[in-house]
Amino acid sequence: MHSFLGYSWAEIASILAVISVLFSGIYWLIRHGAKVLNNAINIGTYPLQQQSKELKQQSKELINAIKQLSGNFKEQHKSINKLEDKLEEHDKAIILHEEKIKRLEERK
Residue 9 has pLDDT above 80, yes or no: yes
DSSP secondary structure string, 46-78?
A: HHHHHHHHHHHHHHHHHHHHHHHHHHHHHHHHH
What's the pLDDT band for 27 if we cut at 50, 70, 90? very high
Q: What is the pLDDT of residue 4?
A: 75
pLDDT at 2 over 70: no
For residues 73-94, average pLDDT: 90
Range of the domain at 8: 3-107
The predicted pLDDT at position 5 comes to: 77
The Cα–Cα gap between 81 and 55 comes to 38
Count of the separate structural domains present in the chain: 1
Query: To the nearest whole percent, how much of the chain has pLDDT over 70?
Result: 98
Give the highest mean pLDDT range of 2-16, 17-31, 61-75, 82-96: 17-31
Distance CA 13, CA 20 (A): 10
State the Cα–Cα distance between residues 76 and 79, nearest whole angstrom: 5
pLDDT category at 87 given cuts 50, 70, 90 is very high
pLDDT of 32: 97
Average pLDDT over every residue of 94-98:
92
